[in-house]
Amino acid sequence: MEAGEQLVFTAGAVPLDPDGRLVGPGDRSAQAGKVPTNLAEALHAAALGYAGQLVEITAVAVLP
């Protein structure tokens, strides 16, 4: 890491829309697609992106 660079940590990405509502209730595919979208928005807000800057993603899916 170079001097002056910053680290950004995110956690708890969930399939919620901007109003805090669950995306696609009962639709696991829609929910699974929303999580990386939300992560990309968080990275964008920190002036970062996936390419060459993202170190690790751990995904956990809970199925009934």
**Range of the structural domain that residue 34 is part of:** 1-64
Model confidence, pTM:
0.73
How far apart are the C-alpha atoms of 36 and 58, rounded to whole Å?
Answer: 11
Nearest to 60 by CA among 24, 11, 7: 11
pLDDT of residue 62: 74
pLDDT of residue 64: 67
13-31: per-residue pLDDT in tens? 889 999 999 999 989 889 9
Looking at the structure of the chain, the number of domains it has is 1
Q: Which residues of the chain have pLDDT under 50?
A: none
pLDDT of residue 59: 78
pLDDT of residue 22: 92
How far apart are the C-alpha atoms of 7 and 5, rounded to whole Å?
Answer: 7
